Amino acid sequence: MEHITNLWLSSGAYKMSSGQFVMILVGLGLLFLAIRKNFEPLLLVPIGFGGILANIPGANLAVPAVEAAMHSGDAGVLGQIAQALGLGGFESMQGLKAALESAPAAAYERAAQVAQDAGFSNGMLYNFYSVAIASGVAPLVIFMGVGAMTDFGPLLANPRTLFLGAAAQFGIFATVLGAVGMSAAGIMDFSIADAAAIGIIGGADGPTAIYVSSLLAPDLLGAIAVAAYSYMALVPLIQPPIMRALTTEQERKIEMVQLRVVSKREKIVFPLVLLILVALFLPDAAPLLGMFCFGNLMRESGVVNRLSDTAQNALINITTIFLGLSVGSKLAADKFLDPKTLGILALGIVAFAIGTATGVLMAKLLNAVSKTKINPLIGSAGVSAVPMAARVSNKLGLEANPHNFLLMHAMGPNVAGVIGSAVAAGVMITMVRAMTG
Amino acid sequence: MEHITNLWLSSGAYKMSSGQFVMILVGLGLLFLAIRKNFEPLLLVPIGFGGILANIPGANLAVPAVEAAMHSGDAGVLGQIAQALGLGGFESMQGLKAALESAPAAAYERAAQVAQDAGFSNGMLYNFYSVAIASGVAPLVIFMGVGAMTDFGPLLANPRTLFLGAAAQFGIFATVLGAVGMSAAGIMDFSIADAAAIGIIGGADGPTAIYVSSLLAPDLLGAIAVAAYSYMALVPLIQPPIMRALTTEQERKIEMVQLRVVSKREKIVFPLVLLILVALFLPDAAPLLGMFCFGNLMRESGVVNRLSDTAQNALINITTIFLGLSVGSKLAADKFLDPKTLGILALGIVAFAIGTATGVLMAKLLNAVSKTKINPLIGSAGVSAVPMAARVSNKLGLEANPHNFLLMHAMGPNVAGVIGSAVAAGVMITMVRAMTG
Amino acid sequence: MEHITNLWLSSGAYKMSSGQFVMILVGLGLLFLAIRKNFEPLLLVPIGFGGILANIPGANLAVPAVEAAMHSGDAGVLGQIAQALGLGGFESMQGLKAALESAPAAAYERAAQVAQDAGFSNGMLYNFYSVAIASGVAPLVIFMGVGAMTDFGPLLANPRTLFLGAAAQFGIFATVLGAVGMSAAGIMDFSIADAAAIGIIGGADGPTAIYVSSLLAPDLLGAIAVAAYSYMALVPLIQPPIMRALTTEQERKIEMVQLRVVSKREKIVFPLVLLILVALFLPDAAPLLGMFCFGNLMRESGVVNRLSDTAQNALINITTIFLGLSVGSKLAADKFLDPKTLGILALGIVAFAIGTATGVLMAKLLNAVSKTKINPLIGSAGVSAVPMAARVSNKLGLEANPHNFLLMHAMGPNVAGVIGSAVAAGVMITMVRAMTG
Amino acid sequence: MQESLLQQGLDITLYGMGIVFTFLLVLVICTTIMSRVVTRLFPEAEPVAASPVSTPASGAAGDLRLRKIIQAAIEQHRNRRR
Amino acid sequence: MQESLLQQGLDITLYGMGIVFTFLLVLVICTTIMSRVVTRLFPEAEPVAASPVSTPASGAAGDLRLRKIIQAAIEQHRNRRR
Amino acid sequence: MQESLLQQGLDITLYGMGIVFTFLLVLVICTTIMSRVVTRLFPEAEPVAASPVSTPASGAAGDLRLRKIIQAAIEQHRNRRR
Ligand code: NA
Ligand code: NA
Ligand code: NA
């Protein structure tokens, strides 16, 4: 009978907290959006599933060995962990958790060894997170794959579109302002690092958002990644009203001149030019843009097709699976169910809206100062969200003028937006470190 | 001349123990079975090859740096290791090995640092084992791939076949009893954790067996994995006599009604239903069944075909290579050549036989209480051993009745057996941990 | 304004040393050779790109956290690191670097924890290097893939060609002599371990060179790998004059008898024979040749085509990407811009030339003692550099005699050269360890 | 402690087997309910057959399969281009 | 410290946006120069079109694409044999 | 210690070269024996040619290769379905 009791006491139904229950529903909701509504399924299927796994009570899949040991509640182990962390002894779970969070690396190591000796091990999702995200490798490998899939031809044919990609990044910085404003107003409690990580949602680029928040605000990573991918999926709903409101029927009808032919050599040299500029001016953007340029050079050089194919297929797919599950591990109830998450979701959609608007406005500004006209609808593609935003530009263009194919023209600002948000990421990482370091 | 002597003294021919010689023959035997007899070659080729590598004398491929340092026999290093482990000094190799085995994590770390400072490094296979198996990741990734290859259609069309998958797991538990009985009788010296790990051979599922034994009895992992895969390959020899003995000609002739059509939506929802039940009732089965359901959801959702393809191909193949070599590392003579291995091989085949029998008997019981008849030959497929066991059911069905195609009907209990043994694994892990605590 | 200043002070243009500038040019030069001149692009594209990344000033991509902390120049952190390393306090950067380099593992660990607590983390390329090369795994996985791509048929049809593969390894040992001679003459300062690692360039086999130098001379790894791959690409320029000088027109015209048919079974048994011989006589060559034989057995056994395909494609491509970037991390200016690099480049080309010559001369010797004539042009293929060297033999053969197809005949010594240099690697590792240990 | 070991083995067997059966019973029930709910509330236009009788591909089936293979190859190719 | 936080946010916004624009401006300039240099100094015989108007593949285009697919499959196959 | 370094280099060269030759000599012997044993004791019905002269695939050979490619594609497809 004791065994039945034990099994019941260790079962999820007995241990489940209301937070975990809610988060399992959230995970199911993300899966529904991904599978039925086709919301960025490549990421949201693993994220949603990982979120459910992270909230299975008693399974401790998303926590390190030492937290699993603490959840077990064994008095002897708790005492040893407290001592390893330099406390006199175990007094309260709250106190122990606080001590663990602020422990220097050596003390944390000792506590982890206590947990290991007591037979606990790291949860599966925690291991995935450590290897894939905490090390920074997964977003970088995905960025390399994205680089290998990116054709800079349209951008090179019309380099002015880089300005559209720059303008749309205002969404990022406006959101930073919004986040610190919320804190100043006492509504939320975001630090400057939090604000910067939240702002990057406006970059509309998943791996950049995950990379930045893993460095600046790991606790918010779950909410930031979910917001980034969800809003990227919502681009066809978010952008059109803003684009229509800011343009006249006449502007939307503008047909653009056919893009010039771009030579193979220009395409090979471009990633190197970008890399050199990064090396000279923005070392903190070097990991992201370096891997991006590397992927693109593998693609365009034409001499390493084996590697380029693998970067675009097996490698990016494998990394996506583990990246998604790892992000899911940050959907554990105790981290995700926080008023901050609501703030992040609210700020994120504002970021997208502002980025869309400033992209369109910059296109109109360029038209005001230049002879060759740009259809301002391609400005919104500057937020990145490749290739969704470019498709939205194309669709609205066709609505206004059935002969107006904007897709290729919009690919320029679209990939410029990727570069722009990686640059913004580098700037923010440097500045936040200088402020908090 | 000194160099020639050194090279000869460091050569394998000079250092080889009889145990290593035997194990190299065992490795060659496994390769022969895999290549000539087609015994589960995807696993037994890497396992057999890894087994040979692990027994190359003096190469230390399967041991950590600290054991390599101990094998070197350098007096200074031995003394330092002894001190790191808290002994007064080096007295005997036996004593040092015992101290190392029971060392707490911090002492082990210190001993490893001594070995590193003396220029020793972890063996290649030891590294593979640590990353692939000790962390638990490889069996889980393989389970994900298997999930992505599994079609639950036949099971959903006839959910009753889940009972066949449940009944066949009796092979697992009967073997646990057998193992503890052997210990009680003084023939073997199995602990309760050993017994549980041996029992899982009866689950007829490679990754489950490896996962459970890596947690409960890592020293027996080599023998358990070899037994599991060998007997899975022998299913066409082991099962038919038992199936014939327990069924009448008339029963074997039973034709089953055509399976109903299963909708895409049911297939999408099923892995989620299974996941929720696991979350509610069996958190310790969450890693295995969670990854299995994740793979299956990727397959059935139809929106992440890129990921599903990779999980079924590149990822599972890469993992299989390293899993196999890692299992091979546990075929080192000093671990494998133990009376326990004979006990494991004997118990394993009994487990398969009992599982087969209880599966068939359960099918007959279902026939006794139900109107819709089941051909009892599909009961044996409940042991899993996908898809071999289902093919055996089909073959025996065709022998009795040339129009009797049982393959699809047998796929139901076949995949049910995978679920059943993962559930059994979860239960045993929970109970053994509570017992050994 | 302060922020602008900060950003400028943290920018690459401000911080760049002349060494880094030169190394970025070197990286661009390697990319040019790889892309325009088709110099082993699969490796030199990632190596060149990694080299540029490693020299981005201030990005610290190629250094561990503790070195990044030291570069930051924060007085408090420097003092703590000095204490962790057992110094009284921080006195000079030189002194601290020396202490770090010679620190025992435990002290290094403490210093790393100080850096982690101060917010520094390992650079991306440093992480790649640790996982891919320092652990030894990447060269071994590539060797497995090469094994899976190798057809030993021509070698088995004419086993005598193994002697050509043996003779060409004299390039390795002559280079070792050259390196120690340079040291003895006071021109360079190579240790015996350095000399052995440099010699292996003459093996004309990339993964072997990387594996050996990661074990014996990690600081020289960048230069050795660059030399090895560059000279492999230059084989069509280096070898022909030597081959012409050492052979007569008559010898070059020799037509060889058609190779006998080799059975599937011989091809399956051969890697096992080689493995057993390695196990008996050369345990230190076991990792390299073991993985090579494993790959080849997967290929020839015909029962694990899934695994063999993956080893030849996704797995080797993924590994190549990270191996290349990791090698690039060793192109950091402070390590690479050293007189030793010039010595390595000079010795490397001599190694190739001598290996080519001894291979050809051995073929002439075989002709002198044997009835069945060998075209001495295939002797040069014994340096390995698969399949470039065999193609060179074929080309020179066709020049002398338009009906003289030597390609298949040259594949025998070509793959023999791979075995030969792996054997030489094993011998050198054993002997150097005995000498320095 | 021998009795204890035997007792432990017996415990694992009884409770283990019980839980496996109970869990799969619950799964049967939930699956059946799920199937009914899905089939009634969300009937599908294009059901997917469980292909009950799998005979070796004969003439026409082979043709169909070949067509599918070519389609798959084309799709795969297109995906790669993405 | 609330002002300080606001001030920090403002700093990040102003300098951040400034640097993004400056960097991309420099990139526009460098790219334009690079394109001119490459186009003038190293003119190519066979330029690669940026395929401005991408209509859905019609009849002839479909044929061409199919040919490319088959070529790609053959190439892929040969590569695998390597 | 300069002599010592030279001496070490000489040692590595002499013994190293000796062992490379010895090892490959043993390998030649073992391989030859192995080939004879395998060929005599286990003769194969369908030997695999080492394809000595590899000319560029001409007409008929190209056809054969194409057939093989298609077969391989089909096989690959079937394997994927597994
Ligand atoms: Na962006
Ligand atoms: Na089973
Ligand atoms: Na060689």
| Tens digits of residue pLDDT in A44-53 | 999 999 999 9
Q: Which residue has 């001369």 as its token pair?
A: C361
Q: Which residue has 């002269």 as its token pair?
A: F53
What confidence tens digit (pLDDT) does each residue in A138-171 have?
A: 999 999 999 999 999 999 999 999 999 999 999 9
Amino acid E59: pLDDT? 35
**Residues in D touching B305 (Cβ below 8 Å):** 79
Ligand 1 center to A312 CA (angstroms):
20
Instruction: State which amino acid sits at residue F36.
Output: R
Q: How far apart are CA A35 and CA A28, in angstroms?
A: 10
Rounded mean pLDDT, D19-39: 94
Write the CA distances from A277 to A285, C22, C139, C182, E35, integer angstroms.
10, 16, 33, 41, 16
Count how many domains chain E has: 1
What confidence tens digit (pLDDT) does each residue in B174-224 have?
A: 999 999 999 999 899 999 999 999 999 998 999 999 999 999 999 999 999
Tell me which residues have their CB within 5 A of the ion that is ligand 1.
A 203-205, 384, 417, 421
Residue F52, in any domain of the structure:
no
Closest CB from B3, B309, B312 relative to F11: B3
Amino acid C335: pLDDT? 84
Ligand with the closest atom to the CA of E24: 1
- In Å, how far is B109's CA from the nearest CA of chain A? 10
In chain A, the residue whose alpha carbon lies closest to the alpha carbon of D79 is A313
Rounded mean pLDDT, A329-338: 90
Check if the beta carbon of residue B376 is closer than 8 Å to that of residue B367: yes
Amino acid D44: pLDDT? 61
Mean pLDDT for chain A overall = 92
Residue F3, in any domain of the structure:
yes
Residue E82 has pLDDT above 50, yes or no: no
Contact A282 C35 (CB under 8 A): no
Check if the beta carbon of residue A64 is closer than 8 Å to that of residue A85: no
Amino acid B17: pLDDT? 85
The DSSP secondary-structure symbol of A89 reads: S
**Residues in C touching A282 (Cβ below 8 Å):** 11-12
Q: Which residue has 């990854």 as its token pair?
A: B291
- In Å, how far is C386's CA from the nearest CA of chain A? 17
**Residues in C touching B15 (Cβ below 8 Å):** 283
**Residues in D touching F74 (Cβ below 8 Å):** 66, 69
Q: How far apart are CA C105 and CA C224, in angstroms?
A: 26
Write the CA distances from C127 to A137, C48, C62, C329, E19, integer angstroms.
9, 18, 8, 10, 29
Amino acid D73: pLDDT? 54
In chain F, the residue whose alpha carbon lies closest to the alpha carbon of B145 is F82
Rounded mean pLDDT, C325-331: 95
Check if the beta carbon of residue A45 is closer than 8 Å to that of residue B298: yes
Residue B204's nearest CA partner among B238, B249, B179 is: B238
**DSSP state letters, C55-67:** T-TTT-TTS-HHH
Residue E72 has pLDDT above 70, yes or no: no
**Residues in D touching A391 (Cβ below 8 Å):** none
| Torsion sign across C-alpha atoms A212, A216, A220, A222 | positive
What confidence tens digit (pLDDT) does each residue in A285-295 have?
A: 999 999 999 99
Amino acid E73: pLDDT? 53
Residue F70, in any domain of the structure:
no
Check if the beta carbon of residue C296 is closer than 8 Å to that of residue C150: yes
- C306 and E CB contact within 8 Å: no
Ligand 2 center to B355 CA (angstroms):
9
Ligand with the closest atom to the CA of C199: 3
Amino acid A270: pLDDT? 97
Amino acid D76: pLDDT? 54
In chain B, the residue whose alpha carbon lies closest to the alpha carbon of C308 is B317
Residue C204, SS3 per DSSP: coil
Q: How far apart are CA B278 and CA B299, in angstroms?
A: 20
pLDDT band for position B385 (cuts 50, 70, 90): confident
Residue of F77, F79, F80 to mutate, interface with D, max D Cβ within 10 Å: F77
Structure tokens at F72: 């391989």
Contact A56 B284 (CB under 8 A): no
Ligand with the closest atom to the CA of A170: 1
- C433 and F CB contact within 8 Å: no
Rounded mean pLDDT, A400-424: 93
Amino acid F40: pLDDT? 87
- B184 and D CB contact within 8 Å: yes
Amino acid A220: pLDDT? 94
Contacts of C238 (CB under 8 A, 6+ apart): C231, C349, C352, C353, C356
Check if the beta carbon of residue C233 is closer than 8 Å to that of residue C44: yes
Mean pLDDT for chain B overall = 92
Residue A137 has pLDDT above 50, yes or no: yes
Structure tokens at C415: 């793959």
Residue F48, in any domain of the structure:
no
Contact E15 A174 (CB under 8 A): no
Instruction: State which amino acid sits at residue A40.
Output: E
Tell me which residues have their CB within 5 A of the ion that is ligand 2.
B 203-205, 384, 417, 421
Contacts of A259 (CB under 8 A, 6+ apart): A153, A154, A157, A158, A408, A409, E50, E52
Closest CB from A159, A192, A408 relative to E50: A408
What confidence tens digit (pLDDT) does each residue in A63-100 have?
A: 999 999 998 888 899 999 999 998 888 889 999 999 99
Ligand 2 center to B248 CA (angstroms):
25
Amino acid B30: pLDDT? 95
**Strand runs labelled E in C143-300:** none
Residue E16, in any domain of the structure:
yes
- C154 and F CB contact within 8 Å: yes
Residue E79 has pLDDT above 70, yes or no: no
D77 vs C400, residue with greater confidence:
C400
Residue E7, in any domain of the structure:
yes
pLDDT band for position D51 (cuts 50, 70, 90): very low
Rounded mean pLDDT, A229-251: 93
Chains that touch F (3 or more CB pairs under 8 A): B, C, D, E
Contact D66 F73 (CB under 8 A): no
- A36 and D CB contact within 8 Å: no
- In Å, how far is F38's CA from the nearest CA of chain B? 14
pLDDT band for position C200 (cuts 50, 70, 90): very high
Please give the share of chain B, as a percent, with pLDDT higher than 70. 97
Q: How far apart are CA A105 and CA C113, in angstroms?
A: 5
Amino acid D60: pLDDT? 38
Q: What is the 3-state secondary structure (H, E, C) of A145-205?
A: HHHHHCCCHHHHHCCCHHHHHHHCCHHHHHHHHHHHHHHHCCCCCCCHHHHHHHHHHHHCC
Q: How far apart are CA A199 and CA A123, in angstroms?
A: 31
Contact A267 E48 (CB under 8 A): yes
What confidence tens digit (pLDDT) does each residue in B218-245 have?
A: 999 999 999 999 999 999 999 999 999 9
E65 vs E6, residue with greater confidence:
E6
Ligand with the closest atom to the CA of B166: 2
Amino acid B50: pLDDT? 97
pLDDT band for position D66 (cuts 50, 70, 90): very low
pLDDT band for position A334 (cuts 50, 70, 90): confident
**Residues in B touching D31 (Cβ below 8 Å):** 156, 159, 162, 270, 273
Closest CB from E19, E80, E82 relative to C7: E19
Amino acid B16: pLDDT? 81
Please give the share of chain D, as a percent, with pLDDT higher than 90. 40
Residue E73, in any domain of the structure:
no
Closest CB from C117, C124, C314 relative to A287: C124
Q: Which residue has 């206590």 as its token pair?
A: A114
Check if the beta carbon of residue C289 is closer than 8 Å to that of residue C275: yes
| b/e map E40-75, b = 16+ CB within 10 Å | eeeeeeeebebebeeeeeeeeeeeeeeeebbeebee
pLDDT band for position F73 (cuts 50, 70, 90): low
Q: How far apart are CA A250 and CA A257, in angstroms?
A: 16
- In Å, how far is B1's CA from the nearest CA of chain F? 9
Q: For A282-377, where are the alpha helices, taking DSSP H only? A: 286-301, 305-312, 314-329, 333-336, 339-369
Amino acid D75: pLDDT? 54
Contact F15 B312 (CB under 8 A): no
Check if the beta carbon of residue B2 is closer than 8 Å to that of residue B13: no
Predicted ipTM?
A: 0.89
Cα angle B387, B390, B396; round to 5: 140
Amino acid F63: pLDDT? 44
Ligand 1 center to A166 CA (angstroms):
8
Least confident of B168-172, C6-10, C215-219: C6-10
Residue A228's nearest CA partner among A208, A210, A201 is: A201
Q: Which residues of F touch D (CB under 8 A)?
A: 73-74, 77
- In Å, how far is A140's CA from the nearest CA of chain D? 19
Amino acid A371: pLDDT? 86
Tell me which residues have their CB within 5 A of the ion that is ligand 3.
C 203-205, 384, 417, 421
Amino acid E63: pLDDT? 43
pLDDT band for position E49 (cuts 50, 70, 90): very low
Size of interface B-D (CB pairs under 8 A): 145
Ligand 2 center to B165 CA (angstroms):
7
**Residues in A touching C59 (Cβ below 8 Å):** 279, 283-284, 286-287
Check if the beta carbon of residue A364 is closer than 8 Å to that of residue A380: no
Rounded mean pLDDT, C376-386: 92
Closest CB from F11, F15, F80 relative to B313: F80
Contact E15 C309 (CB under 8 A): no
Residue F64, in any domain of the structure:
no
What confidence tens digit (pLDDT) does each residue in B71-116 have?
A: 888 889 999 999 999 888 888 999 999 999 999 999 999 999 999 9
Least confident of A278-292, B56-70, C415-429, E33-47: E33-47
- B4 and F CB contact within 8 Å: yes
Amino acid A258: pLDDT? 85
**Residues in F touching E77 (Cβ below 8 Å):** 69, 72-73
**F11 is in which domain, residue-wise?**
1-43
Ligand 3 center to C208 CA (angstroms):
9
Least confident of B154-168, C26-40, F61-75: F61-75
